[in-house]
Amino acid sequence: MSQKIESHLVENRVFKPSKEFSKAARISSMAQYKRLYKESIDKPATFWAREAKELVWQKPWKKVLDWKAPFAKWFVGAKVNVCENCVDRHLDGPRRNKAAIIWEGEPGEKRTLTYQQLHREVCRFANVLEARGVKAKERVLIYMPMVPEAAIAMLACARIGAVHNVVFGGFSAESIIDRLDDSESTTVITADGGYRRGKIVPLKASVDEALKKYKKVERVFVYQRTGEKTTMKRGRDLWWHEEVASASGKHTPKGFDSEHPLFILYTSGSTGKPKGILHTSGGYLVGTYVSSKYIFDMQDDDVYWCTADVGWITGHSYITYGPLANGITQVMYEGAPNYPDFGRLWDMVEEYGVTTFYTAPTAIRAFIKAGDKFPESRDLSSLRLLGSVGEPINPEAWMWYHDKIGGGRCPIVDTWWQTETGAIMISPLPGCTPCKPGTATLPFFGVDAAILDETGQECKANEGGKLVIRKPWPSMLRTIYGDKTRYKKTYWNDYPGMYTAGDGARRDKDGNFWIVGRLDDVLNVSGHRLGTAEVESALVSHKAVAEAAVVGKPHEIKGQAVVAFLTLKEGIASSDKMKVELRNHVGKVIGAIAKPDAIHITPALPKTRSGKIMRRLLKELVATGKVSGNVTTLEDYSVIAALQKELGK
């Protein structure tokens, strides 16, 4: 039986940036992209050294790269302070008084921090951390709502060389324990609470619960966000505002080794124990700085907004580090996108004149489901560039984003990357790359991406295979914290010296990369290996469908049968007739082989807290009627019961 992943989805729409956009962009022609790309692959040291020189190094590097697969060292011998590059670097010129962060709380408060103010706040908190005995290399767990202090805490850690370990504020006490334990953290930075969908998330209470089981934490800094009554443990808990009150706003940033650990971020992957992905200083800084600059075409008058939470890698690389290293003005929002209704984000785009907007397909599909009236009643004309990240964006969602949010004029950068890669790896450059809805298009500078078959040969055009990166890149993970064996086994075991991403993909005849889904999710129907993304996109291209998730169910003859789970758009009711129509629709778009054997219409799909559909749970549900294993990353547990009911289990 062939192990190749087949691909049937055809997309012919092509969107090129306008002449106007191209002319003003940092990279304005494909010839320029190709020239720089070639240099970045053939002479990586030349390319990366030139880019890195735009940043501040306290001591220059001796060598750009030291590569003993699978262990890389970048900017070897250099001394750097990542925080200095994100903050102090901008104080000498006109950026000093430029807004760094424009923040809105969910209840509606507004705050702006200029670079000068950000610097002062970061310095004060860095001084507090040091005064309270936090040392370089010590692990600090950060569990915060989306307030500027979340970024300030990260930057203050970076400034003193402490290693932050941010845990998403939506995770439970249980997740905090696991992450404290694995990283052996001694310090926690949290808040009394945060606002989400009109309610208070009691963050400090979760920390207290976790610290009943994990005893090695010596100090807990508590930022006062909500003013709710909070119990403070004597000798351990410290109010942020009391601590910074007398702290100096000046702090000298010390240079750390380029390979000094910057942070650990846990990622669950699809199964098993969370992996502590370790990123280091110099290479990560350069990778996020350069990718932000070119992919979001950062210009000094932009107002950039990434809607991710700092608890995810997107919030690390494209809120805290990359954009601030570029001296950009950014918007930060605390709460839910549908609070008080689905117009909230568009109100903010209008109010702050947002030019660049970066979000996830799951959010886009939720906006589509809620109806066009929300974006249509706001002035979104300040937008010039849109971005997407986290999952394959269904062509239908891409078109809606392009038309309804981008007014047909904004390029969309569909950015493929991972917690492990640290920075965007495959993406259009907005001033030159012709975009097709559904593809992340071409590799970024320095990224030697390829699709290989089981034997290690490169696949032909439109043949599906495994996505790999054949050369090291500056922002790559350095290891799984405390587990080199797992690092090697997970990422470097398929082909010698190459990084396996765990995604299935194909390249079209123009070289564009199409991600067809996680390899663990691939379907095998009568010997045909099908990626989940294509079947799902075919379903979403039907006007009634809001979201789709497709999984395989064991089948005596076919090996696997295709089972589809769908949510419908607002106001559309399910019927048997519609299910027949949807099956035929998939047959028409992809081919008979992909027609779902069963279609289940449900109010919601099981998702991780970052919005990724958990196909593993659906697969288990159709096979056994139950779910097992780690479900702590599931966003809403009640979805499972609804699905069991729909399946009659």
Residue (390 or 472) nearer to ligand WT7, CB: 390
Residue (333 or 374) nearer to ligand WT7, CB: 333
Closest approach of Cβ 403 to ligand WT7, in Å? Answer: 19
Give the Å distances, CA to CA, from 178 to 151, 434, 464. Answer: 23, 44, 37
Residue (117 or 415) nearer to ligand WT7, CB: 415
Binding mask 606-645 for ligand WT7 (x = CB under 6 A): ----x-----------------------------------
Backbone angles phi, psi at 250, to 5 degrees: -120, 140
Residue (100 or 515) nearer to ligand WT7, CB: 515
Residue (252 or 493) nearer to ligand WT7, CB: 493
Closest approach of Cβ 215 to ligand WT7, in Å? Answer: 30
Structure tokens at 221: 């800094």
Q: How far apart are CA 327 and CA 131, in angstroms?
A: 29
Q: For 359-483, where are the alpha helices, taking DSSP H only?
A: 361-370, 373-376, 395-400
Closest approach of Cβ 341 to ligand WT7, in Å? Answer: 26
Find the distance separating the first CA and the last CA of the chain, reported in whole Å.
33
If you write DSSP's letter for every residue of 463-512 in order, what string do you get?
-BEEEEE-S--TT---EETT-HHHHHHHHSSSSTT-EEEEEEEEE-TT--
Residue nearest to ligand WT7 (CB): 419
Exposed/middle/buried for residue 143 (C-beta within 10 Å: 0-12, 13-18, 19+): buried
Torsion sign (Cα): 14, 18, 19, 22: negative
- Binds ligand WT7 (CB under 6 A): choice among 175, 270, 314, 326: 314
Residue (191 or 412) nearer to ligand WT7, CB: 412
If you write DSSP's letter for every residue of 244-264 in order, what string do you get?
HHT--S--PPPPEETTSEEEE
Amino acid of residue 159: R
Closest approach of Cβ 543 to ligand WT7, in Å? Answer: 23
Instruction: Kindly state whether residue 305 participates in binding ligand WT7, applying the rule CB under 6 A.
Output: no
Instruction: Kindly state whether residue 81 participates in binding ligand WT7, applying the rule CB under 6 A.
Output: no
Residue with tokens 């299935």: 504
Exposure b/e, 423-433, CB count within 10 A at least 16 = b: bbbbbbbbbbb
If you write DSSP's letter for every residue of 82-140 in order, what string do you get?
HHHHHTGGGSSSGGGGSEEEEEE-TTS-EEEEEHHHHHHHHHHHHHHHHHTT--TT-EE
Residue (52 or 306) nearer to ligand WT7, CB: 306
Query: 398-417: which residues touch ligand WT7 (CB under 6 A)?
Result: 414-417
Closest approach of Cβ 605 to ligand WT7, in Å? Answer: 16
- Applying CB under 6 A, the span of 58-66, 123-131, 387-395, 396-404 interacting with ligand WT7 comes to 387-395
- Binds ligand WT7 (CB under 6 A): choice among 27, 188, 440, 566: 440
Binding mask 444-483 for ligand WT7 (x = CB under 6 A): ----------------------------------------
Backbone angles phi, psi at 484, to 5 degrees: -60, -35
Instruction: Kindly state whether residue 503 participates in binding ligand WT7, applying the rule CB under 6 A.
Output: yes
Closest approach of Cβ 391 to ligand WT7, in Å? Answer: 5
Residue (138 or 414) nearer to ligand WT7, CB: 414
Residue whose C-alpha is closest to residue 637's, from 599, 608, 601? 608
Total residues at interface with ligand WT7 (CB under 6 A): 21
Residue (21 or 417) nearer to ligand WT7, CB: 417
- Binds ligand WT7 (CB under 6 A): choice among 501, 525, 530, 586: 501
User: At CA 268, angle to CA 263 and CA 270, rounded to 5?
Assistant: 145
- Report DSSP state, residue 460: P
- Applying CB under 6 A, the span of 3-11, 81-89, 183-191, 501-509 interacting with ligand WT7 comes to 501-509
Question: Which residues, other chains included, contact 508 with Cβ-Cβ below 8 Å and sequence gap of 6+?
Answer: 436, 439, 461, 462, 514
Closest approach of Cβ 149 to ligand WT7, in Å? Answer: 23
- Binds ligand WT7 (CB under 6 A): choice among 418, 441, 512, 567: 418
Query: 228-267: which residues touch ligand WT7 (CB under 6 A)?
Result: 267
Q: How far apart are CA 91 and CA 79, in angstroms?
A: 20
- Binds ligand WT7 (CB under 6 A): choice among 154, 157, 389, 566: 389
Residue (105 or 465) nearer to ligand WT7, CB: 465
Instruction: Kindly state whether residue 362 participates in binding ligand WT7, applying the rule CB under 6 A.
Output: no
Q: Is 571 left (phi over 0), alpha (psi -120 to 50) or beta?
A: left
CB 330 within 8 A of CB 301: no
Residue (224 or 500) nearer to ligand WT7, CB: 500
If you write DSSP's letter for every residue of 583-597 in order, what string do you get?
HHHHHHHT-GGG--S
Torsion sign (Cα): 123, 129, 135, 140: negative
Closest approach of Cβ 440 to ligand WT7, in Å? Answer: 5
Instruction: Kindly state whether residue 515 participates in binding ligand WT7, applying the rule CB under 6 A.
Output: yes
Q: Which residues bind ligand WT7 (CB under 6 A)?
A: 267, 312-314, 389-392, 414-419, 440, 501-503, 515, 518, 610
